[in-house]
Amino acid sequence: MIISPSYLELQKELHARPEGYGDKGDKWAPAVADLVTRFGAKSVLDFGCGQGALARALCPVVDPSVRISEYDPAIAGKDEWPGSADVVVVTDVLEHVEPNWLFSTLRSLFHLARLATFAVVSTRPAQRILADGRNAHLIIESDEWWLDMFRSAGFVISPGPKSPHPKPARELSVVLT
């Protein structure tokens, strides 16, 4: 288990709002396409895919033989537990995980990724607030804290690509193997 039933309902409510929650993954499509080429990947899993922006942006820029799949427990039709993939992408997701489920989520990612995981984690409060009044980023920690968490889950860490935004938010970008 990686999410409690009550928190799942809060996430479904956020995704149902018209403000575009979970629709910014496309900004990482060039970086993911580069990783597909670098690792010779035949499959990509967008873990915590939200509205599916990354998959839509990847389709035209990767070989059509690359299987792109999506998982998000709060999105109907994308909520079935995924199979493994060569490259697992988890961008702007981990800071939303309930703290008591973080380690099991990281271990799940470790087992789902055959070659690499591309992770981007925000290290600042979110602009969105959950219906229960909490900040949408449940885990706000430093880069060093996140790196220690990745290591404790068994990952080897390499620097990830830089944010494509001219003024990137405070975020950690890593490639985990």
pLDDT tens figures, 10-50: 999 989 887 778 888 999 999 999 999 999 999 999 999 99
Upper half-sphere CA count for residue 30 (Cβ side, 13 Å): 6
Q: State how many domains the chain has.
A: 1
Q: H/E/C letters for each residue in 30-92?
A: HHHHHHHHHHCCCEEEEECCCCCHHHHHHCCCCCCCCEEEEECCCCCCCCCCCCCEEEEEEEC
Helix (H, G, I), strand (E, B) or coil at 141: coil
Question: Alpha-carbon distance 152 to 149, whole Å?
Answer: 5
Residues 112/175, Cβ–Cβ less than 8 Å: no
Name the strands in the sheet holding 157-159, side by side, starting at the edge strand that comes first in the sequence. Answer: 67-71, 43-47, 85-91, 113-122, 171-176, 157-159
Rounded to two decimals, the pTM is 0.95
Token pair of 39 as six digits: 């690792």
Question: Alpha-carbon distance 30 to 18, whole Å?
Answer: 26
User: What CATH number does the domain containing 172 carry?
Assistant: 3.40.50.150
Give the domain extent around 20. 5-176
Segment 153-169 mean pLDDT: 83
Count of all residues that appear for the chain in the document: 177
Helix (H, G, I), strand (E, B) or coil at 27: helix
Segment 147-176 mean pLDDT: 89
Q: What is the pLDDT of residues 71-109, one digit of tens each?
A: 999 999 999 999 999 999 999 999 999 999 999 999 999
Question: Alpha-carbon distance 14 to 48, whole Å?
Answer: 13
Q: Please tell me the predicted confidence (pLDDT) of residue 166.
A: 64
Q: Please tell me the predicted confidence (pLDDT) of residue 167.
A: 60
Segment 60-67 mean pLDDT: 96
With a pLDDT cut of 90, the percent of the chain lying above it is: 85
Q: Please tell me the predicted confidence (pLDDT) of residue 168.
A: 62
